[in-house]
Structure 1
Amino acid sequence: MTLEIRPDPEEVGRAREWARSRLAGLGIAADEPLAETLILLVSELVTNAVVHTGRPALLRLSLPGGPPAPPVPPAGADPAPSVTVRLEVADASSRAPVPRCAGREATGGRGLALVDCLADRWGWSPEGAGKSIWCELDRCSQPRESAAPACGVQPAAYEDLLFEAF
């Protein structure tokens, strides 16, 4: 599923609504942790494309086509299968995404730190004359244990740079 994004900050809200409607169509409730996290990631990546490139972009969602995840299995049973949701934002800028170190009073500069903290995986790759930034969330019936406590508490490393989520 693809949505064309104009280089206008108002497009961020439209992108969130579009993503919510796609999730609802699959029976994923707006208050489900997967939906809340995915919508925040849509906001961050679309905002980055709109603000930092000033060019049109494409938002792509690859969603599971099946029913919601099964309930948590009893202790000792095999874990429930997970399904991966992939979000991509492609833009016409060939400039690589650069994580920034935002000060405590800064009103921006934490987008990629949030993506790193919330997504199970993320990265970017050249695409045509531009690039695609992607992230993936694994939908399973058990909450993630490793990433959530680190958000806002421990620093996350990006190659040679260090960031703290506030």
Structure 2
Amino acid sequence: MNVTTTSRATGHPGYSETLPREPGSAATARRLVRVALAAWGLDDVAEDGAVIVSELVSNAVRHARRESIRVMVERTAVRTVRVAVADFSRARPVPRAPGNGEEGGRGLFLVAALAAAWGTDERQWGKVVWADVEGRG
């Protein structure tokens, strides 16, 4: 695992890793989120963060271009963590209502349910889809 750490204004490092754009990268992204949240003492939101990053990685794997994606985890406030996935597609994610019996299509609804906020930031080269999780207590 080749994880990059960067200092942030909150005094806590941010963590990021470039991963191949393939389904197996979701497991690596979940580990990155869990490790970062444990290091920050925010274990109470580790599972929410892991589910969110799985959904964001799955969308990037399915819809993005090129061979890699970048997963980022940063502490933006004392009890808030931003989980993000950058990819080289400019197409914004759109929540959709799946039909009965469809296996997929619920990921962004799950992200919205678990996150305090979520969104997409456009870049010249693509986009960053992010979600903020807030710790309790």
TM-score (norm 1): 0.68
The alignment partner of 1:63 has SS state of strand
Q: Report the Cα offset of residue 131 of structure 1.
A: 0.6
Q: Report the Cα offset of residue 19 of structure 1.
A: 1.5
Q: Report the Cα offset of residue 128 of structure 1.
A: 2.5
**Does the 8 A contact of 2:42 with 2:79 survive in 1?**
no
Q: What is aligned with 1:87?
A: 83
| Identity within the alignment, % | 37
> Counterpart amino acid of 1:38?
G
Paired residue total: 122
Q: Which runs of 5+ in 2 are unaligned?
A: 1-14
Counterpart among 62, 65, 88 of residue 51 in structure 1: 62
Q: Distance in 1 between matches of 2:106 and 2:56?
A: 11
TM-score (norm 2): 0.81
Q: Which runs of 5+ in 1 are unaligned?
A: 66-81, 142-166
> Counterpart amino acid of 1:100?
R
**Which structure's relative contact order is higher, taking Cα pairs within 8 Å and 6+ residues apart?**
2
1:15 matches 2:26: no
Determine which structure has more spread, i.e. the larger CA radius of gyration: 1
Over the aligned positions, Cα root-mean-square deviation in angstroms equals 1.7
Q: Distance in 2 between matches of 1:125 and 1:24?
A: 27
**Does the 8 A contact of 1:84 with 1:137 survive in 2?**
yes
